[in-house]
Amino acid sequence: MRSLLMTILLFPLLVSAQESYTVSGNIIEKGSGEDLIGATIVLQPGMQGTVSNHYGFYSISAPEGTYTISFSFLGYETIEKRIVLERDIHLDAELEEKSIRLNEVTVSAVRSDRNISNPGMSIERLDMKDVDLIPVLMGEKDILKTLQLLPGISTPSEGSTGFNVRGGSSDQNLILLDEASVYSASHLAGFFSVFNSDIIKDITVYKGGIPSTYGGRASSVVDISMNNGNLKNFEGKGGIGLLSTRLSLEGPVIRDKMSYIISARRSYADIILKALPGDIIEDGTRLFFYDLNAKLNFRAGEKNRFFLSGYAGRDVFGFEQFGMDWGNYTTTFRWNHLFSDKIFSNTSLIYSDFSYGFNLDRDLKYDSGIKDYGLKNNTTYFINPANTLRAGFELHYRDFNPGALKSEGNSEINIILDKKQAIETGIYINNKQEISESLNANYGIRLSAFRQTGDADTTRSYIIPEPRVSVNYRINSKSSVKLSYNRLSQYLHLLSNSTTGQVTDIWIPSSSRIKPIIADQFATGYFRNFLDDNIETSVEIYYKNLNNITDFEDGTNIILNENVEDHILSGRGRSYGGEFYIKKKQGRFRGWISYTISRTENLIEGINDFRWYPARYDKIHDISLVCSFDLSRRTSLSSVFVYATGNAVTFPEGKYRVNGMTIPYFTERNAYRMPPYHRLDLSIRIRGKERKKFNTSWDISAYNVYNRHNAYSIYFRESENNPAVTEAVKLSLFGIVPSVTFNISFK
Amino acid sequence: MRSTLYILFLLVIISTSCEEIIDVDLSDSEPVLVSEALILKDSVCKVNLSYTYSYFDPSASPAEENAEIILSDDAGRSEMLYHQENGYYKGNTLTGDEGRTYTIGINIEGREYSGTAELNRKPEIIGLDYEILSIPHNTDIEPVYSVKTVFKDRPDEDNYYLFRYYRNNEMINDYFSTYGDRVLRADTLTFSDFRMDFYKKDTVRVELYAIDEALYNYFSRLNDVLFSAMSSSTPYNPQYGFSEDIMGYFMAASYDSRTIIIQ
């Protein structure tokens, strides 16, 4: 192990021992000063290239000489500059957004072929412009629902924002908002996500080949960045939809140096229903959710930048004396520091909190939740164009509240489960290396360590080395083959009786009884681009093995159960499949087709006679078809079609009578299938005339256009007319749901 | 709790949801024995033996009429139950006593099953009361009432209760409540189940059974299975803790009852 580390550490240093200079700087959007993440920088001659990082920073080194440097970003005008490299240069670039021009064949200037030149595989970046046009339920733009349209990512149930990545359960997704973990990413029983897409800049999802900079969850990483705020001018945008209304404002505090963005969203079903005649809901009823995001961004010279970002969101629900509410709070403080032109470092202090509570009357209250205090550092050393070394650490202290029922009036009622605390650390090193012109690799290792603190007899320490490798072999300028392996560990477990994820679910740390989940994933893929990289296609296959996944003994009560760990069953999971993807990125007609064929199975002692059985979210076929088409400069049409095999479910294979009732008798776990799910959504966006001070648009959409009654659940009951007759009932949630949203942006 | 949230959400936000009765092709499992055994204070033991059968079969459940059933207690008494008809068996003289532990043994062609239950002390209902649950917005809808049971608890020990309800002398089959005093214990407790709707002029009878922990767990799970059918929980068979491959339960209990008329 040690010699491997030494090799990884020293190898790039050896090859960098030649005379060279560095050009570095920030790439920002011209109008707003917003960082551009993942912009391409290329030096000619030599075709040395790099991409800007999460903060828009880039650094590239080359031998002394005269070069043409080009900066490009999808949807933006490319900038080319001649530079004489005889010393280190600081060079910022401001890219301007292309105006919408129809009938234009866009040929991007340089290297929009990252999907075949980069070793990263099973990684998807969502373009916010795609998200913006995709039709969704009730007109609420939703990044998590857009993710579900990508290959390898499936939805556990209709309308849900939970998602399964390559056979992982929804609690195995690490969802980061400005680096802070969001423990429950949904509103209204899972139908809407907590992310207000107006203020989101970038979303990257890692399904596999996860670099060692990330850790903590077994199946995927969804890294979401909030906008920094306009550094140049004040601007705002907002919208009014059927479900919610939203407004964001941003602008400079000190022009080009400091900016803010603040955004709010609130649903208003309660207000409308109260205003309507006929007393649909009672006066004391509370039913709403809200999200608040805010961020400050400060450039203190060329070497230092500071960011402070926060999120608060809650669902509130109640009537009379009964009430419940839940939500997340997150805060991130970040400091970017340039140690040199080649060494970029970011240090973050992070707090995140998820809590759930209800009260039965004024006196009796229940709450549960998790608090997470984190410290992270990531340092990137841009050694030379062939090697980019990253190293860093991550430290989390988590405070778990597994549940407490309290009464102020009568303390005898109190049931307070012991709080648990745990420390999780990760240190990592990673190098991205161009080994030869056609071969490049991203390899590293993460060492994660965990301990549940306190003196309970269930505490135990774990140390798990997590190797991560992905290799890209470029066959020619249009195609490449990639290979990746990663190991991930997860020391957090979500206790859940349901499969869709509920706010009542409880997070607990690993212990001597509950071992950390360990996922090993192998993936390989073939990538080919057509029409000057305008069409990307890929085929990937993967195999994932999950150790120490958990389930419960039948009928285990999760809430306020001190001994819940005694009823946890553990076992193995496996998932394998193929993913096919065709994407057209630019032009009047854009979109993608994704098809996933996969199997996901579990083997757990105590369930299904210890035989392999399909996981509930084992979807054999999953197809998504997403298109958008610019009819004219002001009108765009878009559509989504999805088809998926029904979830695996347990149906009765008999019945019996007890206590005067008919009870279903179950045999095999998940041996049946729900009917196949399919749905078509359509949406049209009509933009108003462009004005100096403000722009408006209307989104008119219909969810489930052909009104298919997709099964949300199938349940079995005695017939109401004749108790001797038993029947199967299909419940479908959404028929056709039309919606309209009005959007406005102003300066 | 979860279902309340769902129902409200569904009602308020979505008017497009719908339920349809559909055909589902189900296989038939091998028949499994189902035993419903009951010994009450001062009564003889009653047992009903049947089998699981095809889910969509509208006929009555198949009965087991050739079993040998022996009831015994921890005082050394025992007797064999006799078959009445259709799988119903009955004891002769051995009646239930408070504080005794009873064992039932079933033998069907060499296959043996057994279960043990404790007959707890008789609980005591102090009184019944009712309260209006919701005041309707218009006069077309009848107001809904909830019945409260005030009863004596023994705070110095773990107690488990089962509530059965009768409306106008008819037992409400598909609703019952369980309560374990781990949550709250006191000399006097008040219990009401908001799922149970009563209306004006209903004659409501509540039977309060003192049961043992195993039976409490069984009925709680039965409740769970019956009421979580629409939610996404994984379904399962509630097990009582008989020997393997048998459904049903063995209940030894004493009970108290009261009646109230909602006016």
Asked whether residue A129 is domain-assigned, the answer is: no
Q: Is the pLDDT confidence value at A487 over 70? A: yes
Nearest to A185 by CA among A78, A326, A57: A326
> Tell me, what amino acid is at A515?
K
Q: Which of A280, A317, A656 is facing B34, going by the closest CB pair?
A: A656
Q: Write out the two tokens for B129.
A: 């009361």
Pairing of strands A173-177, A220-226: parallel
At residue B157, the pLDDT reads 86
Nearest to B184 among A358, A413, A654 (CB): A413
B-chain CB neighbours of A732 within 8 Å are 17-20
Low-confidence winner among A467-471, A504-508, A646-650, B225-229 (lowest mean pLDDT): B225-229
* A522 domain-assigned: yes
Q: Which domains does chain B have, with CATH numbers?
A: 33-118 (2.60.40.10), 124-234+256-261 (2.60.40)
Query: Residue A654 has what pLDDT?
Result: 93
CB contact (8 A) between residue A281 and residue B217: no
Q: Which of residues A93, A112, A131 is at a domain's end?
A: A112
- Rg of chain A (C-alpha set): 26
Q: Quick check: A656 and B17 CB within 8 A?
A: no
* pLDDT category of residue A280 using cuts at 50, 70 and 90: low
Q: Three-state secondary structure along B226-254?
A: HHCCCCCCCCCCCCCCCCCCEEEEEEEEE
| Contact (CB<8Å) B20/A665 | no
- Cα angle for residues A144, A150, A156 (degrees, 5° grid): 60
B117 Cβ neighbours under 8 A, 6+ residues apart: B39, B101, B102, B104, B212, B214, B215, B250, B251, B252
Which strand (E) or helix (H) includes residue B4?
helix B2-13
Contact A273 B50 (CB under 8 A): no
The two tokens of residue B243 are: 């020997």
Interface pTM (ipTM) of the complex? 0.89
Q: How many residue contacts between A and B have a Cβ separation below 8 Å?
A: 188
Q: Please report residues of B whose CB lies closer than 8 A to that of A646.
A: none
Among B61, B174, B236, the residue with its CB nearest the CB of A666 is B236
CB atoms within 10 A of CB B188: 11
Same domain? A581 vs A712 = yes
Report the pLDDT value the prediction gives residue A532, as an integer from 0 to 100.
80
**Strands across the sheet with B144-152, in order?**
B124-134, B144-152, B188-192
From chain A, pick out residues whose CB is under 8 angstroms from the CB of B217.
555
User: Which CA distances in Å does B69 have to A282, A320, B214?
Assistant: 57, 53, 21
What pLDDT digit, counting tens, does each position of A349-372 carry?
999 999 998 887 767 888 999 999
Structure tokens given for A253: 């505090």
Contact call for A726 and B55, based on CB within 8 A:
yes
Nearest-Cα residue of chain A relative to residue B57: A725
pLDDT tens per residue, range A219-234: 999 999 999 999 999 9
d(CA A671, CA A701): 37
- Give the number of domains in chain A: 2
Shortest CA gap B245–chain A (Å): 11
User: Which of A82, A112, A142 delimits the end of a domain?
Assistant: A112
Backbone angles phi, psi at A81, to 5 degrees: -140, 145
Contact B176 A728 (CB under 8 A): no
Look at residue A8 and tell me if it is in a domain. yes
Take residue B159 and report the two structure tokens written for it. 């107690």
Phi, psi of A652 (to 5 degrees): -70, 145
Name the band, by pLDDT with cuts 50, 70 and 90, for residue A7.
very low
Distance CA A355, CA A368 (A): 6
Judged against a pLDDT cut of 90, whether residue A684 lies above it is answered with yes
Dump pLDDT digits (tens) for A233-278.
999 999 998 888 999 999 999 998 999 999 999 988 777 666 666 5
**CB under 8 Å to A480, separation ≥6 — which residues?**
A116, A117, A472, A473, A474, A526, A527
- Please list every residue in chain B whose beta carbon sits closer than 8 Å to the beta carbon of residue A709: 18, 20
Of A436 and A159, the one with more pLDDT: A436
Residue B232 or residue A566, greater confidence? A566
Best mutation target among B33, B139, B232, B240 (most A Cβ atoms within 10 Å) is B232
- Alpha-carbon span A266 to A268, nearest angstrom: 6
Question: Is B2's CB within 8 Å of A498's CB?
Answer: yes
d(CA A659, nearest CA chain B) in Å:
7
- Which chain A positions have a beta carbon within 8 Å of B6's beta carbon? 189
Q: How far apart are CA A326 and CA A502, in angstroms?
A: 11
Bridging pattern class, strands A621-630 and A635-644: antiparallel
pLDDT for the residue B126 = 92
For A725, which DSSP code?
-
| Residue range A398-409: mean pLDDT, rounded | 88
In a domain, A163, yes or no: no
Residue of A nearest to B234 (CA): A498
For A168-198, the pLDDT digits (tens) are: 998 999 999 999 999 988 887 677 888 988 8
Interior angle at CA B213, CA B211 and CA B215, nearest 5: 60
Contact A555 B34 (CB under 8 A): no
Q: Do B28 and A188 touch (CB under 8 A)?
A: no
Q: How high is the pLDDT of residue A497? A: 67
pLDDT of residue A565 exceeding 50, the answer is yes
Nearest CA to CA, how far is A724 from chain B (Å)? 5
CATH number for the domain spanning A294: value is 2.40.170.20
CB contact under 8 A, A724 and B239: no
Q: Which residue of A has its CA nearest to B233?
A: A498
Residue A34 within any structural domain of the chain:
yes
Which among A521, A498, A614, A483 is positioned nearest to A221, based on CA atoms? A521
Provide, as residue numbers in chain B, all residues whose Cβ is less than 8 Å from the Cβ of A737.
14, 16
CB contact under 8 A, B225 and A714: no
CATH number, residue A35: 2.60.40.1120
Q: Which residues of A touch B29 (CB under 8 A)?
A: 653-654, 665, 667
Q: Read off the pLDDT band of A45 (50, 70, 90).
A: confident
Q: Establish if A270 belongs to a structural domain.
A: yes
Q: Between A243, A412, A716, which is nearest B229 by CB? A: A716
Q: Does the beta-carbon distance from B222 to A659 stay under 8 Å?
A: yes
Termini Cα distance of chain B: 29
Task: Decide if A206 is inside a domain.
Answer: no
The answer to whether B137 contacts A278, with C-beta atoms less than 8 Å apart, is: yes
Q: Which amino acid is at A374?
A: G
For residue A247, the cross-strand partners are A238, A264
At A491, is the pLDDT very low, low, confident or very high (cuts 50, 70, 90)?
A: very high
Domain that holds residue A98: 2-112
Q: Average model confidence (pLDDT) for chain A? A: 87
Look up residue B212 and give its two tokens: 């043992």
pLDDT of residue B105: 93
Extended beta strands in chain B, E state: 18-22, 33-40, 44-51, 68-73, 78-80, 82-85, 88-95, 101-108, 111-118, 124-134, 144-152, 160-167, 170-180, 188-192, 203-211, 246-261
Q: Identify from B6, B16, B220 which residue to disrupt to test chain A contact, counting A C-beta atoms within 10 A and taking the largest count.
A: B16
User: Is residue A144 included in any domain, yes or no?
Assistant: no
Query: A157 falls in which pLDDT band (50, 70, 90)?
Result: confident
Partner residue facing B58 (CB), from A651, A656, A725: A725
Mean pLDDT lowest for which of A113-122, A153-162, A315-324? A113-122
Last residue of a domain, one of A94, A112, A130: A112
For A300-340, what is each residue's pLDDT tens digit?
A: 988 999 999 999 999 988 876 778 889 999 999 999 999 99
Nearest CA in chain B to A316: B5
Which residues from A are below 8 Å from B1, CB to CB? Answer: 324, 358, 504
* Contact predicate A9/A429, CB 8 Å: yes
Whether A454 shows a pLDDT value over 80: the answer reads no
Q: CA torsion, points A625, A629, A635, A641, in degrees to nearest 10?
A: -10
Surface-to-core class of residue B217, CB atoms within 10 Å of its CB (0-12 exposed, 13-18 middle, 19+ buried): buried
Per-residue pLDDT band at A604 (split at 50, 70, 90):
very high
Q: pLDDT per position in chain B (263 positions), as tens?
A: 344 444 444 444 445 678 888 999 999 999 999 999 999 999 999 999 999 999 999 888 999 999 999 999 999 999 999 999 999 999 999 999 999 999 999 999 999 999 999 998 899 999 999 888 765 555 566 788 888 899 998 888 889 999 999 999 888 877 888 888 876 778 888 888 877 888 888 999 999 999 988 999 899 888 888 776 545 567 888 888 887 789 999 999 999 999 999 88
